[in-house]
Amino acid sequence: MCGRFAITLPPEAMVRMFDAVPGNDVPQGARYNVCPTQMVAAVTSLEGVRHLRGLRWGFVPAWYETPTDGPLLINARAETIAEKPAFRAAVRARRCLIAADGFYEWNVGGNGARLPWFVTRADGRPMAMAGIWQDWERAGQRLTGCAIVTCAAGPDMAPIHHREPVLVDPADWPLWLGESGHGAARLMRGHPEAALRAWRVGVGVNSNRATGAELCAPLATGTPGA
């Protein structure tokens, strides 16, 4: 799954990267511990025009009476996304890209402790995580929520965790955003070997209240299972 990530790119840089129209609701400032229910910067496309906008991390199905009427849906599994009633309409028509420097994942050490890792692209470029989004409204309350699409872990992630977010390469952004026809399902796969790199980080990130650049700083040592 993907339950935390970091993003330090300013909105202006994301606008340039995605060639998007800026919105006025995009979160500002470097964020080293983005958590579910917080606002995230996402790119959507409407009639071929990309928009950088703020979305709430947490997909709310249309039938929820309140945003907390059921489980908090922060991830959507690629293998079942087209079949699940909560997601199947969104994956056909409301796909988005969520920018990140990298994401956190946990494995279990020899003493049973949960050990956090920070995962980035091996080439150092920002990530564009595949997402889906949906508007929800009840009794005057309105929000637009999103979920990150996940898939089986590729060879770089498998020693740490069995799932990873779907990462979309720049050449495939038009396809995922629905700008270049059909076939986005083929993008919902793990990355090949040597595409990602990961390092152990301190347990401070285990708290969803933690902030600061030190959260994703590497420890002196760290190998999966250590």
- For the chain, the structural domain boundaries read 5-216
Helices and strands in the chain: count of H runs, count of E runs: 3, 13
The structure's pTM equals 0.95
Long-range contacts of 209-214 (CB under 8 A, 24+ apart): 210/33, 211/31, 211/32, 211/33, 212/32, 213/30, 213/32
- What homologous superfamily does CATH list for 5-216? SOS response associated peptidase-like (3.90.1680.10)
Each residue of 58-90: pLDDT tens digit? 999 999 999 999 999 999 999 999 999 999 999
pLDDT at res. 181: 86
Each residue of 159-216: pLDDT tens digit? 999 999 999 999 999 999 999 989 999 999 988 888 999 999 999 999 999 999 999 9
